[in-house]
């Protein structure tokens, strides 16, 4: 795997990527974005569907309440699928709630997450002039280079689209790939091995967001 940031070519088979349907995710926009960058998509709702998909990458999107997202994963038994896939260092991308679900605990509903990473999901505590949820375009600062953020993504000042009232606080600061600022710095993306997750929505972030999905598809193709 000498160039994870390369995109799949028309001469090679498109990478198969499974997208988990928790019932509360922005499924259509995420799948359309992945299809736009050349991935072959399989929506999965059970471990059996995932195993049958032959996927080389796994995506967990989500919008709404983290409690509902985690409850859906546990009810379908896909929580163990996510944990085992990440533990095996297979390509994984979490989006919004799909990032928050990876941590141990969330203040939103006082729930236990999947515990893939040590840390908390906490509510923004900001002066009244800062509206909650944090919604709209905001710039991010890349803390370290990474294949997910490669290819035409600048080191500073790229804007992505956010919609969230809670943010992740990893216990290990080396997990943080990117930060943004809203009344203070917060974690905007994480990465460890081939596991990546973003608090922002790449599928709502125009060309730069599509580049995130393109890079992930390339990582899956090379896996």
- What positions carry a catalytic annotation? 96, 201, 203
DSSP structure class, residue 109: T
- The Cα-based distances of 30 to 124, 160, 183 in angstroms read 26, 15, 29
Instruction: Determine the Cα–Cα distance for residues 45 and 19; give it in Å rounded to an integer.
Output: 9
Residue (of 104, 128, 134) closest to 116 by Cα position: 104
Omega into 128 within 30° of 0, i.e. cis?
no
What sign does the dihedral 134-75-49-81 (CA atoms) show? positive
């Amino acid at each position: 795997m000498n160039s994870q940031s390369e995109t799949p070519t028309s001469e090679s088979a498109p990478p198969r990527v499974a997208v988990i349907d928790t019932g509360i995710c922005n499924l259509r926009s995420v799948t359309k974005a992945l299809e736009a960058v050349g991935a072959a998509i399989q929506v999965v709702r059970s471990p059996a569907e995932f195993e049958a998909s032959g996927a080389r990458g796994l995506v967990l999107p989500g919008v709404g309440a983290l409690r509902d997202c985690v409850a859906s994963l546990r009810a379908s038994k896909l929580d163990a699928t996510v944990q085992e896939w990440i533990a095996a260092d297979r390509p994984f991308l979490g989006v919004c709630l799909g990032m928050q679900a990876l941590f141990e605990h969330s203040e939103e509903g006082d729930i236990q997450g999947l515990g893939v990473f040590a840390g908390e999901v906490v509510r923004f505590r900001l002066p009244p002039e800062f509206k909650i949820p944090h919604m709209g375009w905001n710039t991010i600062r890349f803390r370290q280079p990474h294949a997910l953020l490669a290819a035409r993504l600048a080191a500073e000042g790229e804007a992505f689209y956010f919609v969230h009232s809670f943010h992740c606080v990893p216990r290990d600061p080396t997990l943080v790939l990117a930060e943004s600022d809203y009344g203070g710095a917060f974690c905007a993306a994480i990465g460890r091995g081939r596991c990546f997750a973003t608090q922002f929505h790449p599928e709502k972030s125009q060309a730069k967001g599509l580049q995130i999905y393109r890079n992930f598809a390339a990582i899956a193709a090379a896996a």
